[in-house]
Amino acid sequence: MPIPFILGAAAVVAAATGIGAGVYGASKIKEAKDTMESAQNRHERNVYRYEKTQEACTAEMDRLGTQEMEILNSFKCFSDLIERIHNRPKFEEIDLGDRSLPRYDPQHLQEVSLGAGVLLGSLGGAAAGTAGGMAAAGGVTAAVMALGSASTGTAIASLSGAAATNATLALLGGGALAAGGGGVALGSTLLGAATLGVGLMVGGAIFAFTGSKLSEKADEAWDQMKRAEEKIDTVCVFLDELKDAAVVYRDALEKIRRLYTSHMAFLEALLEERMDWNSFSETEKLHVRNLVHLVSVLYAMCKEKLVLRDEKEENLNTLNEVGIREQMTRAEDILDQIPPL
């Protein structure tokens, strides 16, 4: 075979091979690009789903937290009314039929009411999740801590707005960083400026995946997306459960609060006529005792943590199913025992 023909044939083969390799390479590049785009799009959809789920949960928890602060803030009015009754019995000795309920303590109720008032005043300018974080940690706990001292030594009750809220969240986080505590970052696990307090509900450093950038390597990007997706799925399930619990809990609290409000109105009207316990009829005395009982139930419900914090910061917090169930059962019992006025 003539050499020129052989060389020509070899050139054709080489060209064909080069074209084939080029086509293969282009195909792989396109496949990698498609994988990257698919991973990115799916990750963005997952993050969007998480954000919407978080928003819905945060809204319900904020409603619950605000409701708890309003109830606790009203206890000063209740305590003032009770203290106006002359020759009244020691209500802390009344058998409420439930030894786990707190006894009547006017001074403590005044403190809780004052702390709740401080926090209510700060919620107007607070970020989403602040009130919900207080409900997650127990409204009474937040109210009591609001009477504590900020890291500067200033009484939190004398602060206002974001300063009061941040100081309280720092205490919930174990104190200021300078004092060895976790500070606001731990108390609220900040997920950006707009989600103050959300960490008290959900907790953990797992939120890093929501803002993560996927790797430029296609296979690694897909793996990162899948890992993030698993975490998002887990968090979304938790957030949905917490939201549902908040709705049910808030409804039960509202029913007890309506009963409490009607008994408060009754006592206020009664004290316009008579202030001596001995002048009250047995029915009137029963209504006052029921009012004390209702306050104890409301206090216990506002004290209950809806979320149990995991000791490992990177883990998800858990729903306090046992505590919530006990409080709901108690609420149902009290609604059966005390008729509306």
- What is the chain's Cα-based Rg? 30
**pLDDT interval class at 131 (50, 70, 90):** confident
Quote the pLDDT of residue 33.
Answer: 84
Task: Please give the mean pLDDT across all residues of the chain.
Answer: 77
Domain membership of residue 70 (yes or no) is yes
Domain membership of residue 41 (yes or no) is no
If one compares 260 and 130, the residue with the highest pLDDT of the two is 260
**pLDDT interval class at 200 (50, 70, 90):** low
Please, are residues 203 and 190 in contact by the beta-carbon 8 Å criterion? Answer: no
Domain membership of residue 24 (yes or no) is no
Of 19-33, 193-207, 256-270, 299-313, the poorest mean pLDDT is in 193-207
Using CA atoms, how far apart are residues 116 and 280, in angstroms rounded to an integer? 32
- Helix and strand totals (H; E) in the chain: 11, 2
Domain membership of residue 294 (yes or no) is yes
Range of the domain at 259: 49-337
Indicate the SS3 state at residue 128.
Answer: coil
Domain membership of residue 5 (yes or no) is no
318-319/307-308 β-pairing: antiparallel
Q: What is the pLDDT of residues 150-189, one digit of tens each?
A: 445 566 656 655 665 566 555 554 433 333 333 344 334 3
If one compares 16 and 249, the residue with the highest pLDDT of the two is 249
If one compares 17 and 112, the residue with the highest pLDDT of the two is 112
**pLDDT interval class at 317 (50, 70, 90):** confident
Quote the pLDDT of residue 180.
Answer: 36
Domain membership of residue 69 (yes or no) is yes
Domain membership of residue 43 (yes or no) is no
If one compares 135 and 315, the residue with the highest pLDDT of the two is 135
If one compares 256 and 94, the residue with the highest pLDDT of the two is 256
Please name which of 231, 235, 228 lies closest in space to residue 39, comparing C-alpha atoms. 228
On whether the pTM is more than 0.75, the answer is yes
Using CA atoms, how far apart are residues 77 and 147, in angstroms rounded to an integer? 18
Residue 68 in this model has a pLDDT that exceeds 90: yes
Share of the chain above pLDDT 90, in %: 38
How far is residue 324 from each of residues 60, 74, 159, 213, measured CA to CA in Å?
Answer: 16, 23, 32, 38
Q: Which neighbouring-strand residues pair with 122?
A: none
Contacting residues for 289 by C-beta, under 8 A, at least 6 apart: 91, 94
Contacting residues for 275 by C-beta, under 8 A, at least 6 apart: 84, 85, 86
Quote the pLDDT of residue 267.
Answer: 96
If one compares 176 and 229, the residue with the highest pLDDT of the two is 229
Q: Which neighbouring-strand residues pair with 155?
A: 149
Using CA atoms, how far apart are residues 292 and 81, in angstroms rounded to an integer? 11
- Per the structure, the count of domains in the chain is 1
Using CA atoms, how far apart are residues 196 and 128, in angstroms rounded to an integer? 6
Tokens 């928890």 correspond to: 61
If one compares 16 and 132, the residue with the highest pLDDT of the two is 132
Domain membership of residue 44 (yes or no) is no
Of 110-114, 176-180, 204-208, the poorest mean pLDDT is in 176-180
Across 46-59, b (16+ Cβ under 10 Å) vs e yields: bbeebeebbeebbe
Residue 275 in this model has a pLDDT that exceeds 80: yes
Q: Indicate the residue type of 37.
A: E
Tokens standing for residue 304: 């209950």
Quote the pLDDT of residue 176.
Answer: 35
